[in-house]
Amino acid sequence: MTTTMPDGDQAERQAEARRQAEARRLADKMWSYCDVLRDSGVSAIDYIEQLTYLLFLKMADERAKLPASLGGGQILPEGISWEILKNLSGGKLEEAYRDALTEMGKQEDTLGLIFRKAQNKVQEPALLRKLIVDLMDNETWGQHGTDVKGDAYEQLLARSATDVKSGAGQYFTPRSLITAIVDCAQPTPGDTIIDPACGTGGFLLAANDYIRRHHKDLTPGQRHRLTHGEAFRGIELVDGTARLAAMNMLLHGMCQADGPSPIETRDALAMPPSLRASLVLANPPFGKKSSITVMGMDGKATRDDISYDRQDFWETTTNKQLNFVQHIARLMEIHGRAAVVLPDNVLFEGGAGEGIRRRLLKEYDVHTLLRLPTGIFYAGGVKANVLFFDRKPASEEPWTKNLWVYDFRTAQHFTLKQNPLRREHLQDFVDSYLPGKSPDERVETERFRKFGYDELVARDKCNLDIFWLKDPSLEDADALQPPEIIAQEIVDDLEAALSEFAAIAEALQARAALRDSKSPLDE
């Protein structure tokens, strides 16, 4: 009897299947404790955060036991160890764990970021001990490759996004969409990739995965950039989310525990960028009004508690997404490229919105727009798009020649559970995009059309919310969608409308506050 050895591709597929199975096993094991803690008042996202602390401490303990030749070494502050926590119980365990979190938060670099403002939210010592002894200590995490640990952690983050009460989904962009965007952007080992609103780091991880799959022969310098937090940078406003992003990147081998953190915890809009990106990938937070005023080069400002002095911005506005568009435009180096998820209002809003679109079309090459279907984001009622544009040198002539619009919204119906968006659903868009080739080689199809610069700027308010397809389900009574899809679309439309009304109410309140604050001498 002869045994047939698998060929290279088959062996690689088998190895990938084993890796994914092991990642699922780890994720299932860690997630199995979530329901128990949820009954004690710990939300899913808080649970992932607590696992982050414990996972880091356990891996640091394993690393300390390795010889220096295999990368071993102590990275925890003196007096903090996994063995101490493992052998304690009751109030002593709770106190020692709390002190460890505080001390770790005082450290620098990636270590300090992960434990910055860390708190123990597992209030029952017996449950905390169960996590330490039964869950974490029974695994030798060092024996799992970075791909397995990283994929397991990613699966946990994806599951936590379904916890509506914690709002975890607002930090989570569908991975199928991220992968399609990255496949179009084609990141390289030489890129400096920045996400100014990185959430849990999904775009950065997908870019790293793309580079490793498509660039096998990395130089030592390229490998160092990819593993020491130099090729990828993320900015996140929320401490808890930033720590999840840092841990995510650490588990995927994109930074070192005792090295500089690739994640910064701050408001990306607060100051001009200090580092330029050759590639920006982002899904800025949705929400119409910012609580902070940005003063742009037009010199206008509205009253608020704090003002940003962003003289590099074209327009003054309290719309967060418009400000992120301006920030990203300034973040890009010459010949840099960007792919940004944006809500519909950025495409059609007048005033500052119109001014920003006109400047962007003239000074940048705005070449592709993907209209996304509803039902793919955890935040309800979101109608969004992906805008692809490149920065060019200064020129008297407009850089945008044609904007190619792919309508993936009309007659497309997705839900988060019954009919989720998968990567293959976006393959026709990626094929039409022709990654790595000139847009001049593209071919128009039923869903993919180009619109010239003169036609775009002639549109009322330079409106880029362009569509031409008709949904057959709206014309043919026999082709109506299932009731659950129709109901969900109604809910999405209502939530979108409520969001717009809330933004109007906020604007009116701000105007009233400005009027009431004026003294008689101001009149």
Asked if 174 contacts 419 with a C-beta cutoff of 8 angstroms, the reply is no
pLDDT at 344: 93
Q: What is the DSSP letter of 375?
A: S
User: How many other CB atoms sit within 10 Å of the CB of residue 294?
Assistant: 27
Per-residue model confidence (pLDDT) at position 282? 96
Q: Is the pLDDT of residue 223 over 90?
A: yes
Q: Would you say residue 78 has pLDDT above 80? A: yes
Phi then psi for residue 157, to 5 deg, are -65, -40
Which amino acid does the sequence have at 92? K
Q: List all residues 6 or more positions away from 413 whose beta carbon is below 8 Å from its beta carbon.
A: 373, 375, 419, 481, 485, 489
Topology of the domain comprising 158-287+321-479: Rossmann fold (3.40.50)
Q: Is 58 helix (H, G, I), strand (E, B) or coil?
A: helix
More confident residue, 380 or 308: 308
Q: For residues 116-135, give the mean pLDDT.
A: 88
Calculate the dihedral angle through the C-alpha atoms of 322, 326, 327, 332, rounding to the nearest 10 degrees. Answer: 140
Q: Tell me what pLDDT residue 303 has.
A: 43
- Domain borders along the chain are 31-156, 158-287+321-479, 483-522
pLDDT at residue 479, rounded to an integer: 47
Q: Can you tell me the mean pLDDT for 323-336?
A: 96
- Band (pLDDT 50/70/90 cuts) for residue 150 is confident
Range of lowest pLDDT (137-141, 326-330, 517-521): 517-521
Task: Convert 96-147 into a string of H (helix), E (strand) and C (coil).
Answer: HHHHHHHHHCCCCHHHHHHCCCCCCCCCCHHHHHHHHHHHHCCCCHHHCCHH
Predicted confidence (pLDDT) at residue 195 exceeds the cutoff of 80: yes
Q: What is the average pLDDT across 66-91?
A: 83
Averaged confidence pLDDT in the chain: 83
Q: Does the pLDDT value for residue 419 go beyond 90? A: no
pLDDT recorded at residue 15: 74
Residues forming a β-bridge with 366: 389
Does the structure show a pLDDT above 90 at 511? no
Predicted local distance difference test score (pLDDT) of residue 290: 43
What would the 3-class secondary structure string for 410-459 be? CCCCCCCCCCCCCHHHHHHHHHHHCCCCCHHHCCCCCCEEEEEHHHHHHC
Top-level CATH class of 31-156?
mainly alpha
What pLDDT, on a 0 to 100 scale, did the predictor assign at position 301?
46
At residue 35, the pLDDT reads: 72
From 153, 175, 140, select the one nearest 62 (Cα to Cα): 140
Which of 271, 284, 260, 325 has the alpha carbon at shortest distance from 195?
284
Greatest alpha-carbon span in the chain: 100
> 270 or 417: whose pLDDT is higher?
270
Closest CA to 117 of 131, 107, 129, 130: 107
What sign does the CA torsion over 78, 80, 82, 86 have?
positive
pLDDT > 70: percent of the chain: 79
Q: Are 465 and 347 in contact (CB under 8 A)?
A: yes
Scan for tokens 């602390």, then name that residue: 53
Residue 173's pLDDT band (cuts 50, 70, 90): confident
Per-residue pLDDT at 288 exceeds 70: no
Give the per-residue pLDDT at 418.
79
User: So what's the pLDDT on residue 163?
Assistant: 60
- Is residue 121 predicted with pLDDT exceeding 60? yes
Backbone angles phi, psi at 99, to 5 degrees: -65, -35
- What would the mean pLDDT of 4-25 be, rounded to a whole number? 72
